[in-house]
Amino acid sequence: MRGLFRTYKWLVAILGLVFVLVVGWIAAPIRGSLSAHIDVARGHYKLLTYGLPVSWLPEYAALLRERYGVEVHAVAGCVVSLSLISYVRNYDRISMAATNRRYGHDVFKECEEDAVTQWGRTKAATEKTP
């Protein structure tokens, strides 16, 4: 009887862990959307990022913050899970749409173009300096 009880405890523990992982994976997009709606309702506009950042990211983040009050937050480096990717994609989809609605145009594309141009000028100027 004791052996059966121990086996049962392990089985319940393993099934519980699998359940938590599956629910967490399935719920990630919902959590991302919900978090974005809450932040937007509070007036906090953010863009979440992960992975290797592009070289002009500091300029991009500065332009978004200065012009529109949008904060850029890196939530992970290069190693990400599928649930984190779905969380970030859903968060950014809601947050970016709300930001663009608020200002009436695609502020992210505008800031990206300006950041790339600004970064290019800075890079060219530093390469000319001996």
Cα–Cα distance, 11 to 17 (Å, whole number) = 10
Cα–Cα distance, 53 to 74 (Å, whole number) = 9
> Mean pLDDT for each consecutive 10-residue tract of the chain (130 residues)?
62 74 74 94 96 93 96 93 92 97 96 94 75
Q: Are 50 and 85 in contact (CB under 8 A)?
A: yes
Q: What is the reported pTM?
A: 0.78
3-class state of residue 73 by DSSP: strand
